[in-house]
Amino acid sequence: MAILQINNLSKSFGSHQIIDGLNLTVPEHVIYGFVGKNGAGKTTTMKMILGLLLPDGGEILVNGEKVRYGETATNRFIGYLPDVPEFYGFMTPKEYLMLCGEITGMKQDACKKRAKNLLDLVGLSEANKRIQSFSRGMKQRLGIAQALLNSPKLLICDEPTSALDPVGRKEILDILSSVKETTTVLFSTHILSDVERICDETAFLHNGKIALHQTADAVKHGKNVSGIEIEFYRQNDAAHFASKYPGGSETSKTTLRYTQKTENDMSYFMQLLLTEHIPVQRLQTLEPTLEDLFLNIVQKEDN
Amino acid sequence: MKQFHAFIKKEFLESARTGKLLILSVLFLLFGIMNPATAKLTPWMMELMSESLAETGLIVSSVSVDALTSWAQFHKNVPVALIIFLLIFCSSFAGEYQKGTLIPILTKGMKRRVIVAAKTAAMLVFWTGGYWLCYAVTYGYNAYFWDNGIASSLGVSAACFYLFGVWMITALALASTLFRSASSVLLASGGLFLIFYLPGLLPPIQKYMPGYLLNAPLLPTGQAEPKDFLPVVCITILLSIIQYAAAVISFNRKKI
């Protein structure tokens, strides 16, 4: 059985249709990437799954039970990490987790033990100070601990990495990967490299619908077609390289950008730079934007 | 019940650690001391001012004060204490909406009605404790300086304003579930007060409006009887229950 099933969901704010007939099925024990641009409706969808927003139409089933707005009983299956998690600043992490445990009806001893294990997992076991002094990354980690407290079947994370530095991002992604055995993770993001690193399946939200549903390999395959940018030391080096390999566009006097290139092209570029004795400041694979990826995959489907 | 226990514990811890509890204790204690102190100092102040008053043609003869003067002060001061109390608690819900701290709690399966119950109960506990502390301090000083025996129905007169406070707290709870910002919550609570206060200016229904409870100072001086307040007490209790029930219903439908 699917842990999460969304059928024909719709939601609009005023005249603006955010979600328009969205269908989504998330199987158990996967990390499911929910990708979309900022403002695509990812948070709106998640809030409807959590019963915090009333949908205009359609239905949401969590673990086979229908989600109700207001008194949302299905939340007992769910752990939720908001995009900007905010907790009671006057409490310590341990006190906060004990509060959450009491709310979910956990026994005190069991909760104490679980809280300790989770604080170890997220690296906050030593942080015995009030939450108000926590950094953003620490709050994000505490957010994961509180979301996992009642061993949820479904962990929903709303852009858990978007505001963090690379080290913080890696830590969060590692934690999410490590809980996959026991829980299903639905994870929204607009950062493609995060999806590539940990997601088993990915859905792309576009114009209020799932534009595409992909497995991890397909995402990687789609991503291969990206760009390469070279920054030279001198202007005449750039001109010389351009004469040997036309098709690039000048983004500055010493920088050339080539689009739609593969890893093989990258090897050829390196070879060419060596044989021509052209030193470079920087040679870089360009991350495709979400739009590039949509275009690529849509174009492929059309072909 | 477990959820209620957990959340009200959080409310108390919050009040203790954010200093609300300290402010409330000082506030009510200070007001309790001020009532007899003002009464005690009145003759001395009048004496000081007697010369300047004499120049304007007013002659101050001996000013006598007793427990009734102090109780009159009590009834003048507690409305100010209630306003400060409401100012302190108007952000009880609004602060949580703005920070988003209720979202993780609700997604943990917290029942919404329990949040309203725990927050209202916490406010009522603080009001009860603070108000009766203020009363006890005034009572103690009055007994020491004068004699409380000359004031009749003291407990009933104090209970009237206490009930008025309870009614305003349920109004604040209702307003808190309807509006998101602390200022709107305060305005709406004030609005609710006016809705019930203004019709009370019309003599035929005066006795049945919660605002009539503010006439409690007539009790110690013997100008009114406790039984005169029975209808308004019943109506105010009923209104408080209705306001609380409306708060629960409105919070259940609130977009968080």
Of B209, B169, B173, the C-alpha closest to B82 is B169
Residue A87 CA to residue A96 CA, distance in Å, equals 8
Q: Does pLDDT of A219 surpass 70? A: no
Residue A226 CA to residue B110 CA, distance in Å, equals 47
Show Cβ contacts of residue A8 under 8 Å, excluding neighbours closer than 6 positions: A21, A22, A23, A57, A58, A59
The model's confidence at residue A40, banded by pLDDT at 50, 70 and 90, is confident
Q: Tokens standing for B12?
A: 């108390």
pLDDT tens digits, A139-185: 988 998 999 998 899 999 998 888 778 888 888 888 888 888 889 99
Mean pLDDT is highest, among A8-12, A118-122, A290-294, for A8-12
pLDDT in the model for residue A220: 60
B111: which chain A residues are within 8 Å (Cβ-Cβ)? 71
Distance from the Cα of B107 to chain A's closest Cα (Å) equals: 6
The verdict on a CB contact (< 8 Å) between B103 and A76 is no
pLDDT tens digits, B167-217: 999 999 999 999 999 999 999 999 999 998 888 788 888 888 888 898 888
Interface test with B, best of A53, A63, A67, A99 (most B CBs within 10 A): A99
The verdict on a CB contact (< 8 Å) between A102 and B5 is yes
pLDDT tens digits, A251-276: 888 999 988 787 788 889 999 999 99
The verdict on a CB contact (< 8 Å) between A90 and B108 is no
Q: Does pLDDT of A295 surpass 70? A: no
Q: What is the ipTM for the molecules in this complex?
A: 0.87
Inter-residue contact A279 to A237 (CB < 8 Å):
yes
| SS3 category, A280 | strand
The model's confidence at residue A299, banded by pLDDT at 50, 70 and 90, is low
| SS3 category, A12 | strand
B5: which chain A residues are within 8 Å (Cβ-Cβ)? 102
Residues in chain B: 256
Residue A113 CA to residue B231 CA, distance in Å, equals 55
The verdict on a CB contact (< 8 Å) between A75 and B107 is yes
Residue B125 CA to residue B147 CA, distance in Å, equals 30
Largest CA distance in chain A: 73
Show Cβ contacts of residue A276 under 8 Å, excluding neighbours closer than 6 positions: A240, A241, A244
The verdict on a CB contact (< 8 Å) between B104 and A71 is no
The verdict on a CB contact (< 8 Å) between B109 and A103 is yes
Q: Does pLDDT of A89 surpass 90? A: yes
The verdict on a CB contact (< 8 Å) between B107 and A70 is no
pLDDT tens digits, B64-111: 788 888 898 999 999 999 999 999 999 999 999 999 999 999 888 889
A76: which chain B residues are within 8 Å (Cβ-Cβ)? 109
B6: which chain A residues are within 8 Å (Cβ-Cβ)? 99, 102-103
Q: Where are the beta strands (DSSP E) in A84-242?
A: 154-158, 184-189, 201-206, 209-215, 226-232
Q: Tokens standing for A214?
A: 């992909």
φ, ψ (nearest 5 deg) of residue A213: -125, 125
Q: Which residues of chain B approach chain A closer than 8 Å at the C-beta? A: 2-3, 5-7, 9-10, 13-14, 17-18, 99-101, 103-112, 252-253, 255-256
Beta pairing class for A65-66 and A57-62: antiparallel
- Among chain B residues, the shortest Cα distance to A142 is held by B104
pLDDT in the model for residue A298: 58
pLDDT tens digits, B107-141: 888 899 999 999 999 999 999 999 999 999 999 99
Residue A196 CA to residue A25 CA, distance in Å, equals 20
Please give the mean pLDDT across all residues of chain A: 86
B256: which chain A residues are within 8 Å (Cβ-Cβ)? 52
Domain boundaries, chain B: 2-253
The verdict on a CB contact (< 8 Å) between B110 and A103 is yes
The model's confidence at residue A94, banded by pLDDT at 50, 70 and 90, is very high
The verdict on a CB contact (< 8 Å) between B100 and A82 is yes
The verdict on a CB contact (< 8 Å) between A150 and B108 is yes
Q: Which residues of chain A approach chain B closer than 8 Å at the C-beta? A: 50, 52-54, 70-73, 75-76, 78-80, 82, 84-88, 90-91, 95, 99-100, 102-105, 143, 146-147, 149-150
A49: which chain B residues are within 8 Å (Cβ-Cβ)? none
